[in-house]
Amino acid sequence: MKNLFQKTMKILFIFGVVFLFQNGALFAQTSSANIDISISPKTPGAGDSVTIQLSSNSIDLDTTKITWYVDGVPGISGNGQKSLAVTAKAAGETTNVRAVVETADGTSSEVSTQITPAGVALIVEPTSYVPPFYKGRSIFTNQGTTRVVAIPNVIVNGTEVSSKNLVFNWQQDGVTLTSDSGLGKDSVTVDGGVPIKDINISVSVLDTSGNILADSSEVISASDPKVLVYENSPLYGMLFNKAITGDYYLGQKNELDLVAKPYFFNLSTDSGSDSTYKWLINDNYVTPSGQDNELLLKQTTTNLSGTAAVSITINNNVRIFQYATVNFNVNFGI
């Protein structure tokens, strides 16, 4: 009987200890429930507005008290406060965000995230031809070629990370450019195809562990190339200050030396085997005596007056969608 009593008391004692620990855990529990935290945009830049969102498959967050902390400072709090908007700091500066979720039964859970902004700018550098001393920039034209350079702004521990230590993942129209992507590959050269359409080029910048730090995209639209005609003066040389358009009055001059200059074609020179010039005077084809892009007009008499309709067309012999035409009139005589 004594042994039975001792066994019974031992069982009750063990049961009581288990009961106490179970009830103690019930009131003191801090669990990591099935709560997901996400940010939008996923790769914010400096000064961007960032939305932090909570979601859960096991907790009704719409009726649950949620308290937000930004860099340790309490923010908004209340039932259903499952989203928070913050402004990203400067590049490389981290914002710590924490959310504490308290359910009706006293269970407390928390999730956190960090926002460290970075950025990448895309510089589009078309490689089309422009005449020497042209002060403008090249533009991308039909079937053109352009170089796109990524300029990352990634700062870690106060130090800017060099492009050679970052991984660049390039895409053109949603297709990964595998051979152009990789460590330190911060530029890519793309060609416009046929049919003529916009090119969507994008890049993601990653660290060597595969974490995406920043991304950017650019839509590159094609324009039409141009051809302009200038007077080559025997006294002043090429008059690049004014292209010949509309009507040109020959006056007392006996001759007019016309030079056509292509703009934004993918050509090696302004007059080579990769281009063809076609001169027309009053709808009649004229063959230049010298270079294909230069035509010398002579006024043989001053007793007559009239107008000569001049037209010049240039074609790229390789890229057939690169062509341009300009028309003007030369008035001569009295």
Longest CA–CA separation in the chain, Å = 149
CA–CA separation, 263 and 138 (whole Å): 8
Q: Find all residues with CB under 8 Å of 237, minimum gap 6, and list them.
A: none
Is residue 102 within 8 A of residue 33, CB to CB? The reply is no
Q: What is the DSSP string of 6-23?
A: HHHHHHHHHHHHHHHHHH
Homologous superfamily in CATH for domain 33-115 = Immunoglobulins (2.60.40.10)
Q: Domain coordinates of the chain in residue numbers?
A: 33-115, 119-220, 226-332
Just give the CATH number of 119-220: 2.60.40.10
> How many other C-beta atoms can be found within 10 angstroms of the C-beta atom of residue 212?
14
The answer to whether domain 119-220 and domain 226-332 are alike in fold is: yes
pTM of this structure? 0.78
Task: Give the pLDDT confidence of 115-142 residue by residue, as tens digits.
Answer: 999 999 999 999 999 998 888 899 999 9
In this predicted structure, which of 17-21, 208-212, 241-245 has the lowest mean pLDDT? 17-21
Residue 332's pLDDT is what?
82
Which CATH number is 226-332 given? 2.60.40.10
Question: Which is it for strands 95-102 and 65-70: parallel, antiparallel or unpaired?
Answer: antiparallel
Rounded Cα distance, 127 and 144, in Å: 8
pLDDT per residue over 17-34, tens digit each?
Answer: 332 222 222 222 233 558
Return the beta strands (E) in 103-144 as ranges: 108-115, 119-126
Token representation of residue 303: 């007793």
Beta-bridged to residue 95, according to DSSP, are 115
Q: Which amino acid is at 79?
A: N
Q: ω into residue 41 within 30 of 0, thus cis?
A: yes
